[in-house]
Amino acid sequence: MPSEDLSGNTCLTCHETDTPVVDKKILADAVHSGLNCTDCHKDVLEIPHSENLGKVECSACHDKVNLEYKQSIHGELNGQDMRDMPKCVDCHGTHGIYSPQDLRSLANHLKVDQLCLGCHASQIVIDAHPSLPSSEFINKYRQSVHGRGVHIKGLLVSATCTDCHGFHKIRPAKDPDSTVTKKNVPVTCKKCHAGIFEDYAVSVHGQMWAEGKNSAPVCTDCHNAHEIKEATGRMFQSNIPNECGGCHEDKTVTYRDSFHGKATSFGYLVSAKCSDCHTPHRILPKGDRNSAIHPDNLKQTCGRCHNDVNNNFIRFNPHMNVHDAQDSPLIYYGFLFMSYLLTFVFGFFSIHTVLWLQRLVVGLLRKEVKIHKFEGKHIRRFALSSRLTHMVVVVSFLMLAATGLPLKYFHTQWAKILMGLLGGIEVTRYIHRIFAIVTFGYMAFHVAHVIHNVYLRRKYHWVKGPDSLMPRAKDFQDLWQNIKWFLYLGKPPQFGKWTYFEKFDYFAVFWGVPVIGFSGLVMWFPSFFTKFLPGTFVNLAAIVHSDEALLAAGFIFTFHFFHNHLRPENFPMDITLFSGTVPLERFKMERPEEYERLVKENRLERLLVDPPTPELERKCLIFGFITLFIGLILLVSIFISYIHGLFIH
């Protein structure tokens, strides 16, 4: 048959039904509908033609595209006769080739990733080419902001494989000519994110990149390549300190120790993160007048979160290094003082408690010390107001500890669990403040109560003499005598109404509440206090508040618990401050000096009362054991954190 009869209609006389079958309708709609079959199948010169036709050479028309393909990793490996390499028809089809803008096209924007996955999700292909990434990136991409934009929202502007890797001249990521190699990533992302690129280009990161420094962070260093999250989303925002910390480790450590860092670690994303202060992309040195952290711009930067920012406020250091005396002598020596205070108090009372404990154990083994079950009359020791105040103290203290200690140990799993159980930091910060107000309330009530009784009712024995909680020379004598007893060098002291360790407990509150309270107020209302205090006082307040709270919690949960639960006369629990009374026999044994004085002054009979009812005793024990259990959990958590810290550091 002459060549001029080799038209499409002629070919279809066979191929409308014979293999390979050509769908006339598909062919009519395709981009090549205006071509004759022989424009592609050039070796068909007559009909019938040979069954062994040569491959169609798309390069005859698409020479530029073919050149790009040959320069790609696909074309390069195809030239090495790797037959699993994709060729034109694998991506574009054969007869049903449509414009990429046509939804029917295999290479349509919304289908590109599925097309690429034909090979890149095939385990056979992956096994044959070890340099290929595992198929895990597929799900990462589809859950990314780009993948969700394509598949869930159908956005043509959302990036797919070819937007980043190119269409035909695809090179491996490590190849200098690749569109996704480090030096080219910003230019590639710029095609969609032009505005962000402008900010990045003038930033310190962008300038490093422009200078060709390999250490310069580019888009994929912070946003990842396939697993790109929504920048305003919770997952991305909570991970910002980790991303920045990959390069700025020293600054991340100091950030983590600040309230901003601790709150962020608990998922409180309102708290300032690196990008909130330094901006996400236009990051400039502090000395640059256009920098968000330049002194001239700090009011505006801090003012995005804080109201009424003043000149003192911006002197707060969000990256305070407590170990650097040159950075801030006030902070350095303040931290040093609190560290020494913690060491002294815990050191002294640890030795005191261990010595007492071993003396009790030896005494029990020698039958010198006995666990008594007291019966009979009780002596009234505390008025109702004191008992109620103590219960408020217990509840408020435990709530403050439970909501505050997780911030100190933010890096531990138990802190995250406890914070989650309490509703997260969004809830605990209000709980903490409520019980701080309660603490100020009972403190004010007690001070007013003391002033009323001493100055109005003239009960001067409250501030001097054996009934007073004020320190006396005898307290130091009792301490020395107790130590001698611990060391088997003498008898135990004859205690009066108040022991030296009870007075320490009492005055620890008078020291702790103002110190913890004032430092807490400074952190609660920084804008107000920095009107007359420098911003570094906010840093100092954070240190004092944290360490003083640890001192209080550690003291109560160890030494106070020991005195009230492990001593034989108290075991398993001393409910005196809940019931208000103590067994007379125990009183005689525990406070012989006070007992003799009451007898001598004929006041003992007036203080004798019946034992608490079983119902009252049961309620006191329930309340006591609940609070003891909470305290012990917190104590164990602190101890585990301390041991863990020893191994980490």
Percent of the chain surpassing pLDDT 90: 69
Amino acid, res. 288: D
The pair of structure tokens assigned to 556 is: 């109560």
Domains and CATH numbers, the chain: 1-25+39-55 (no CATH), 229-305 (no CATH), 329-369+388-648 (1.20.950.20)
Average pLDDT over residues 31-57: 85
Q: What is the mean pLDDT of residues 45-70?
A: 88
- Separation CA 625–CA 618 (nearest Å): 11
Are 97 and 65 spatial neighbours (Cβ–Cβ below 8 Å)? no
**Distance from C-alpha of 647 to C-alpha of 636, rounded to nearest angstrom:** 17
Q: Is a pLDDT exceeding 70 seen at residue 5?
A: no
Determine the pLDDT at residue 302. Answer: 95
SS3 88: helix
Range among 86-90, 178-182, 460-464 with highest mean pLDDT value: 178-182
492 token code pair: 């135990």
The rounded distance, in Å, linking the Cα atoms of 340 and 91 is 71
What residues contact residue 331 under an 8 Å CB cut-off, 6+ apart?
317, 320, 322, 536, 539, 540, 543
Residue type, 374: F
Name the phi and psi angles at 582, rounded to 5.
-135, 140
Model confidence pLDDT, tens digit, residues 215-272:
999 999 999 999 999 999 999 999 999 999 999 999 999 999 999 999 999 999 899 9
Nearest 5°: the CA angle 121, 123, 129 is 95
Opening angle at CA 44, ends 80 and 86, nearest 5: 25
3-class DSSP state for residue 479?
A: helix
**What pLDDT, in 10s, does the model give residues 86-115?**
999 999 998 889 999 999 999 999 999 999
Q: What is the mean pLDDT of residues 380-389?
A: 93
pLDDT at residue 642, rounded to an integer: 82
More confident residue, 178 or 39: 178
Asked if 438 contacts 474 with a C-beta cutoff of 8 angstroms, the reply is no
User: Cα dihedral sign for 529, 533, 534, 538?
Assistant: negative
Query: Which residues lie closer than 8 Å to 156 by C-beta, 6 or more apart?
Result: 109, 110
Q: In what order do the strands lie in the sheet with 378-380?
A: 581-583, 378-380, 608-609
Alpha-carbon span 497 to 503, nearest angstrom: 10
Residue-level pLDDT at 455: 86
The tens digit of pLDDT for each residue in 586-630 reads 899 889 999 999 999 999 999 999 999 999 999 999 999 999 999
Phi/psi at 512 (nearest 5 deg)? Answer: -70, -45
Mean confidence (pLDDT) of the chain: 90
Tell me which H or E stretch contains 113: helix 112-120
Share of the chain above pLDDT 70, in %: 98
Task: Name residue 189's amino acid.
Answer: C
CB-side neighbour CA atoms (13 Å) of 385: 8
Bigger pLDDT: 155 or 18?
155
Which pLDDT belongs to residue 495? 93
Residue with tokens 């079958």, as numbered in its chain: 21
Residue 589 contacts residue 552 (beta carbons within 8 Å): no
Whole-angstrom distance, CA of residue 291 vs CA of residue 284: 5
From 51-55, 140-144, 407-411, the region with the lowest mean pLDDT:
51-55
20 — pLDDT class (breaks 50, 70, 90): confident
Choose among 539, 79, 555: nearest CA to 318.
539
The confidence band for 356, taking pLDDT boundaries of 50, 70 and 90, is very high
* Averaged pLDDT for residues 53-73: 90
Tokens 């320490």, located at residue? 504
Bridge partner list, 573:
none
pLDDT at 649: 53
Determine the pLDDT at residue 648. 61
Averaged pLDDT for residues 188-201: 96
| pLDDT surpassing 80 at residue 370 | no
- Is 50 exceeded by the pLDDT of residue 10? yes
pLDDT of residue 181: 95
Give the start-end residues of each E strand in 372-470.
378-380
Query: In Å, how far are 72, 77, 113, 174 from 80, measured between CA atoms?
Result: 13, 5, 26, 20
Q: 297 CB contacts (<8 Å, ≥6 apart)?
A: 289, 291
**What band does 2 get if pLDDT is binned at 50, 70 and 90?**
very low
Helices 329-365 and 473-486 pack at an angle, to 10 degrees, of 60
Q: How far apart, in Å, are the Cα atoms of 232 and each of 9, 269, 279, 280, 306? A: 58, 10, 13, 11, 20
- Alpha helices by DSSP H, listed for 452-566, are 473-486, 500-524, 526-529, 536-555, 561
User: Can you read off the two tokens belonging to residue 578?
Assistant: 């809940």
Joined together, the tokens standing for residue 158 give: 């959302």
d(CA 140, CA 223): 12
**In terms of residues, how long is the chain?**
649
**How many distinct helices (H) and strands (E) make up the chain?**
34, 3
Q: Give pLDDT, residue 1.
A: 43
CA angle (128, 130, 134) in 5-degree steps = 100
Q: Are 15 and 21 in contact (CB under 8 A)?
A: yes
Q: Are 491 and 485 in contact (CB under 8 A)?
A: yes
Quick one: CA torsion of 229, 234, 237, 240, rounded to 10 degrees?
-80
| Distance separating alpha carbons of residues 5 and 38, to the nearest angstrom | 11
Tokens of 200: 């990045």
Select from 521, 523, 512, 509 the least CA-distant residue to 547. 512
| pLDDT above 90: residue 39 | no
Q: Which amino acid is at 566?
A: L
At residue 380, does pLDDT exceed 90? yes
Model pLDDT for residues 473-517, shown as the tens digit of each residue:
999 999 999 999 999 999 999 999 999 999 999 999 889 999 999
